[in-house]
Amino acid sequence: MKTLKSTQVSAFALSAALALMSGMGAAHAQMAEGALGVQNRSIGYVMTFENRSIYQAKDAKTQCPVALNDGPPEQFKKLYPDKGERTVEGTRLAWEGELWNPTSKELNVPYYEVQGKVGRGMNLDGKDDANDYVSPDTGEKGIDNQVYRAVGCTFNYRDGQTSTLTPQWRRATYNIFVVELTEVDSLQNDDDVIVTTYRGKDRLITDATGNEYLPGGSQTLDTRWGKRYIQSFKGKIKDGVLTTEAKDLIMPAASIYAPRDGAPDIIYRDMRFQLNLTDTQANGLMGGYADVWTWYYHSHKTRDSRHQAYGGTAGPTLYRALMKNADAYPDKNGQNTAISTALDVKFVHVFVKHPDAQVAGVVGTSQTAEGKTTDTRSRE
C-alpha cells in the first residue's frame, strides 16, 4: 500500500486512503485524485522508449577501428561491379533474394563487428565467457550482448535515431506494450511480485512539448487479439529495482508500418526485466536471447532497403553477422538460432484497465466526439 507523506495528508487524502484500505467497491476502490503508484496491490506501466542496448565509446574508432559498415548502395556496388554483362536477375533480384531469403553463401564484402570488451546489457547465463562484456557503468562482468557485437559498427544502431526500434515508433503504433505488476506490497522491497505483459489499446498521452509522455494515462488491455503477448513473470523488488525470472516473450512489432506491412513480432527466449521503479516510471533493461530470424525479419519488414540505406544497414551481411554471433538455442545441426541482446527501456505509469473490469468512477458508457455512446464495459 502506498504511504502518503505526512505533509501531504489532508482531511481529503486521509479519508480517501481510509476508503481505499477498506476496499470499497466491488471491483476497484475509487482512487484518490493524483494518487499514482500502487493501487489495490498493483501498478501499470506503459513503454515509451525502447532501443537496442548499444554502448558507444566517445570515439567510434575504439569499437570500430576500421570503419562503420557499408549500406545497401555501397554493398551493391561491390557485390555487382559495373563490368561485364549485367542482368536484373543477376543484380537487383539477386540482392533482394539475399535480403529476404538470406543464405550462408560467403559474400565478398567487408563487415565489421565491435571490438573490445566493454558493453552494456545483462549477464544472461550467469557466466563470464570469452565473448562477454564488462559494463562501463558498474564493472559487472559476463554481460551477454552479441547483438551489440553484430550491429555495433552499423550507423543505424549506434545513435538510436534510425535504428529498427526507433522510440517514436513504439509510441505511435497501435502495438502499445504494457506491463502490470501485481501482488505488490511495496515498490521498494517485495520478495514476491508478478509481472504480466500485455498489448495496450490506447494512445499514449504526451506533455505540452509533445516529446515526453505523462504518467497517469489509461490503457485498456487487449486480451482478445493480443493473447500471445500475455506472459507472466515471477519477480522481486529490492531497493526499488525489479528483477524477474527469465521466460520466453513475444514482443508486439514496433513499427508505424506494422499494421500495413504486417511486420512480425520478435520472439525473445529467456527474457527478463531489470527496472528501477517509482510511482510514475520504470526504467532499465530487458534482456534475453532474440530469435535471429524474427529479429532480422522484423528489421526488414519495418524498414525497407531504402530506409536501411539511411543508416548503413545491409541485410545480407547483417544476417550473416547475427547467425555468426548467435549464442543460444542451437538447432539440430548445432547452429545457434538465438542471439543474446538487451533493450534499454523506459515506461511511465498508466492505469491499467482489464476488459471486464469496471473503472471506478466511470459510469459505464463512452461517448464519441459526436456524442454517440458505446458500452465500454463488455466490449471484449
- Residues in contact with other proteins by CB under 8 A are 7-10, 12-13, 15-16, 19, 30-31, 33-36, 201-203, 205-210, 212, 214-218, 220, 351, 353, 359-369, 371, 374, 376
Nearer to other proteins, 56 or 206 (CB): 206
**Closest distance between other proteins and the C-beta of residue 193, in Å?**
20
Nearer to other proteins, 15 or 87 (CB): 15
SS3 217: strand
Closest CA to 229 of 247, 251, 255: 251
> What single-letter DSSP state applies at residue 3?
P
Nearer to other proteins, 274 or 376 (CB): 376
User: Which whole-number Å values give the CA distances from 8 to 19, 34, 60, 307, 361, in the listed order?
Assistant: 17, 11, 49, 51, 23
Residues 17/39, Cβ–Cβ less than 8 Å: no
**Closest distance between other proteins and the C-beta of residue 355, in Å?**
10
Nearer to other proteins, 188 or 373 (CB): 373
**Closest distance between other proteins and the C-beta of residue 377, in Å?**
8
Provide φ and ψ at 92, rounded to 5°.
-65, -45
**Closest distance between other proteins and the C-beta of residue 218, in Å?**
5
User: Which whole-number Å values give the CA distances from 263 to 199, 299, 361, in the listed order?
Assistant: 15, 8, 38
Q: Copy the grid coordinates of residue 232.
A: 507472466
Closest CA to 42 of 380, 271, 354: 354
**Closest distance between other proteins and the C-beta of residue 63, in Å?**
36
From the number of C-beta atoms within 10 Å of its C-beta (0-12, 13-18, 19+), residue 229 rates as buried
**Closest distance between other proteins and the C-beta of residue 299, in Å?**
32
From the number of C-beta atoms within 10 Å of its C-beta (0-12, 13-18, 19+), residue 127 rates as exposed
Nearer to other proteins, 203 or 238 (CB): 203
Beta-carbon count within 10 A of 367 CB:
10
Dist. CA 122–CA 126, nearest whole Å: 9
Residues 341/52, Cβ–Cβ less than 8 Å: yes
Helix pair angle (72-79, 315-325), 10° resolution: 90
Dist. CA 77–CA 302, nearest whole Å: 24
Strand 373-375 relative to strand 266-277, pairing: unpaired
Nearer to other proteins, 18 or 93 (CB): 18
Residues 340/146, Cβ–Cβ less than 8 Å: yes
Helix pair angle (72-79, 92-100), 10° resolution: 120
